[in-house]
Amino acid sequence: MASTSNTENASSSNTVSNVEEEARARLCAEFAAIAGTNSGETRRHLAEHGWDVERALNSFFEADMDKLFEEDLQENEGSPKPKRQKVQEKPAQACIDLTGDSPSEEDNHKLSLISWNVDGLDTNNLPERARGLCSFLVLYTPDVVFLQELIPSYIDYLRKRAVSYMIIEGGEEGYFTGMMLKKSRVKFVESEIVAYPTTQMMRNLLVTQATFKGQKLCLMTSHFESCKGYAEERMKQLRVVMQKMKDAPDDVTSLFGGDTNLRDTEVAKVGLPSSVCDVWERLGKEEHCRYTWDTKANSNKTVPYVSRCRFDRVYFRPAAKEGVPRLAPDHMALVGLEKLDCGRYTSDHWGIYCSFTAG
């Protein structure tokens, strides 16, 4: 009888252990999807923080990255580091503006934007890649910039190198999104961060109200849940964005850009409101700017497979009120296709450049 009892207890213990191990495997998958760590590193970070994913990720990203930018920021070496703010309005006196060019006369009334996942989580050649982003800001002088996978030191670098832009952050710890508004052309009104209640990857929606040439804009960026297994969460996040765009007042133009990680089948399941368009589709689905994640062409990530996906997307809803100027998309291109001197690209994603004209 005692032998039977011991067997049952052992079986029960194994069942609990198996359940716990399955739960830990899911946590490992979540952590690795964000941090890009191998299995050993993943389990170590989680175990050190009681298998709490959020605590482990915050600790993982707290490593001081500022030293990577030391060469570029040495002119500020003797100055105390200012407290970081979610919205930056007044640059420090020592800042150097590398992005102050004005658009040509013919483009003066066009609204232009760049949306880019800059892969700040990849610390390899990060200063060179951050300089690469700034070079594209000089080249294209976009009015609005949507950025994903920023880290604190990357934002600090942009503050010092792109002072003609106002910077708005979608977070302060770990990794997060951000926006840049050309101060001479886009006027900031207010911003908010909309939480995704069920995200497991620290994702949210950054929303900014602004004006351009007297036109009201609702600007949004986000980094949707990553990996194939998180389709349901991704679709929830898409629904939040679409509702925001749909609910904007009819005298407001709504623009969303970001790394959505969406598959076409997921978008089809959710559906877009009739007033909202996918800019790539609206402009004729041109093949040369279809794939923004392309391991066949982009070698920043070493992976044993070829993956070509349209993860990064731009959605647009024009103002509908009579008498209000109506913008319309007129151009799209991919940016960041050239290797930098370090032999790598600015990011593992291509950036998207779009422009809009008043119809």
Verify that 250 and 342 share a domain, yes or no: yes
The yes-or-no verdict on residue 54 having pLDDT over 80 is no
Q: How far apart are CA 174 and CA 170, in angstroms?
A: 11
Verify that 197 and 339 share a domain, yes or no: yes
Q: How far is CA 289 from CA 283, 311, 335, 338, in A?
A: 11, 12, 9, 15
Verify that 45 and 118 share a domain, yes or no: no
Verify that 134 and 6 share a domain, yes or no: no
Could you list the residue range(s) of the whole structural domain that residue 313 is in? 66-358
pTM: 0.80
Verify that 209 and 321 share a domain, yes or no: yes
The CATH number that applies at residue 90 is: 3.60.10.10
Give mean pLDDT, residues 350-356. Answer: 98
Beta pairing class for 252-259 and 277-278? unpaired
Q: What is the pLDDT of residue 27?
A: 87
Last residue of a domain, one of 40, 60, 80: 60
Q: Quick one: DSSP state of residue 323?
A: T
Verify that 263 and 308 share a domain, yes or no: yes
Give mean pLDDT, residues 272-289. Answer: 98
Polymer length of the chain? 359
The CATH number that applies at residue 40 is: 1.10.8
Give mean pLDDT, residues 281-298. Answer: 97
Rg (CA), the chain: 22
**216-273 residue pLDDT tens:** 999 999 999 999 999 999 999 999 999 999 999 999 999 999 999 999 999 999 999 9
Q: Phi first, then psi: what are they for 205, rounded to 5°?
A: -120, 120
Verify that 41 and 161 share a domain, yes or no: no
Verify that 14 and 98 share a domain, yes or no: no
Last residue of a domain, one of 35, 60, 85: 60
Q: How far apart are CA 299 and CA 348, in angstroms?
A: 7
The yes-or-no verdict on residue 9 having pLDDT over 80 is no
Verify that 177 and 229 share a domain, yes or no: yes
Verify that 50 and 125 share a domain, yes or no: no
CB 293 within 8 A of CB 349: yes
Q: What is the pLDDT of residue 93?
A: 43
**140-194 residue pLDDT tens:** 999 999 999 999 999 999 999 999 999 999 998 899 999 999 999 999 999 999 9
Q: What is the pLDDT of residue 13?
A: 46
Q: What is the pLDDT of residue 44?
A: 82
| Count of domains for the chain | 2
Q: How far is CA 47 from CA 64, 206, 343, in A?
A: 22, 32, 36
The yes-or-no verdict on residue 208 having pLDDT over 90 is yes
Give mean pLDDT, residues 296-309. Answer: 93
- Helix, strand and coil content of the chain, in percent to the nearest 5, comes to 35, 25, 40
Q: How far apart are CA 192 and CA 190, in angstroms?
A: 7
CB 227 within 8 A of CB 201: no
Q: What is the pLDDT of residue 76?
A: 41
Verify that 182 and 254 share a domain, yes or no: yes
Verify that 226 and 350 share a domain, yes or no: yes
Strands (E), the chain: 87-88, 111-117, 144-150, 165-169, 176-182, 186-195, 204-212, 215-223, 252-259, 277-278, 293-294, 308-309, 312-317, 327-335, 351-358
The yes-or-no verdict on residue 317 having pLDDT over 80 is yes
Nearest in space to 32 (alpha carbons), one of 201, 231, 236, 261: 201
11-15, 59-63, 206-210, range with the lowest pLDDT: 11-15
**55-109 residue pLDDT tens:** 777 666 554 445 555 555 554 444 444 445 456 554 444 455 666 666 655 568 8
Q: How far apart are CA 268 and CA 235, in angstroms?
A: 10
Q: At how many degrees (to 10) do helices 53-60 and 39-48 cross?
A: 110
Q: What is the pLDDT of residue 1?
A: 46
Last residue of a domain, one of 15, 37, 60: 60
Q: How far apart are CA 214 and CA 220, in angstroms?
A: 19
Catalytic positions are: 259
* Residue 293: strand pairing partners: 309
Q: What is the pLDDT of residue 49?
A: 83
Q: What is the pLDDT of residue 60?
A: 67
